[in-house]
């Protein structure tokens, strides 16, 4: 059971921070990760939903500094938040910090606990439309003046490096919906004519 006071604190002090991040990491994104994390937690009785909820809420807060180290900065933020000591002991605080640090898709190690695996899996919500659109949005935020050719090349390179067979994306929970969704996405990435068509439509929509 998640204490109402904790929910109120997170909803008023933590979630609003996402309003300052890019479209791919906005308030809608963190809410989706929270919802997906709590759904996954139901499959793992050993997972305490208080921790699951809080980890998901803090997982991208480090974007206030930069993207490259945001997972580590998010860990620092959750560890330094003394308000959380109303609901968690020091051992739980350490578990939450580790889980937040371990959530990054390009991480070179397996998450250290079930909590890290849950938030990592929830953050990898593989929905073909959302994944492709977020990739377009991120490129436009980074280089809004570049032409469509440049953006497609960046878009394609990112998808190949992360989602194609052999890419760095790792799925840690066999019970999640992501494995089947990843196959669907990979079939689109492999069909470059279809991929270019989808990219062009999304690129035009996002530029408006």
Confidence of residue 46 (pLDDT cuts 50, 70, 90): very high
Choose among 177, 182, 181: nearest CA to 163.
182
**Among candidate residues 123, 156, 190, the one where a domain is terminated:** 123
Contact present, 122 and 37 (Cβ < 8 Å): yes
Same domain flag for 46 and 149: no
Confidence of residue 104 (pLDDT cuts 50, 70, 90): confident
Q: What is the mean pLDDT of the chain?
A: 93
Same domain flag for 75 and 29: yes
Cβ neighbours for 178, distance < 8 A, ≥ 6 positions apart: 121, 124, 125, 126, 171
- pLDDT at residue 106 in the model: 65
Domain boundaries, position 87:
4-123
What is the tens place of the pLDDT at every residue in 132-179? 999 999 999 999 999 999 999 999 999 999 999 999 888 888 878 888
pTM: 0.76
């Amino acid at each position: 059971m998640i204490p109402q006071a904790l929910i109120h604190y997170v909803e008023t002090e933590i979630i609003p921070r996402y309003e300052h991040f890019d479209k791919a990491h906005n308030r809608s994104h963190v809410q989706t990760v929270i919802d997906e994390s709590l759904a996954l937690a139901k499959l793992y009785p050993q997972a305490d939903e208080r921790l699951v909820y809080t980890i998901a809420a803090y997982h991208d807060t480090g974007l206030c500094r930069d993207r490259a180290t945001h997972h580590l900065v998010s860990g620092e933020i959750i560890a330094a938040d003394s308000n959380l000591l109303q609901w968690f002991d020091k051992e739980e605080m350490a578990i939450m910090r580790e889980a937040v640090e371990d959530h990054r898709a390009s991480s070179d190690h397996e998450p250290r606990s079930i909590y890290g695996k849950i938030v990592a899996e929830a953050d990898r919500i593989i929905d073909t439309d959302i994944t492709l659109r977020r990739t377009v949005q991120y490129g436009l935020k980074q280089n809004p003046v570049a032409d469509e050719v440049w953006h497609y090349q960046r878009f394609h390179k990112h998808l190949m490096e992360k989602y194609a067979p052999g890419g760095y994306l790792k799925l840690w929970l066999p019970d999640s919906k992501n494995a089947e969704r990843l196959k669907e996405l990979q079939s689109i990435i492999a069909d470059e004519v279809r991929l270019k068509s989808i990219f062009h439509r999304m690129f035009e929509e996002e530029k408006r």
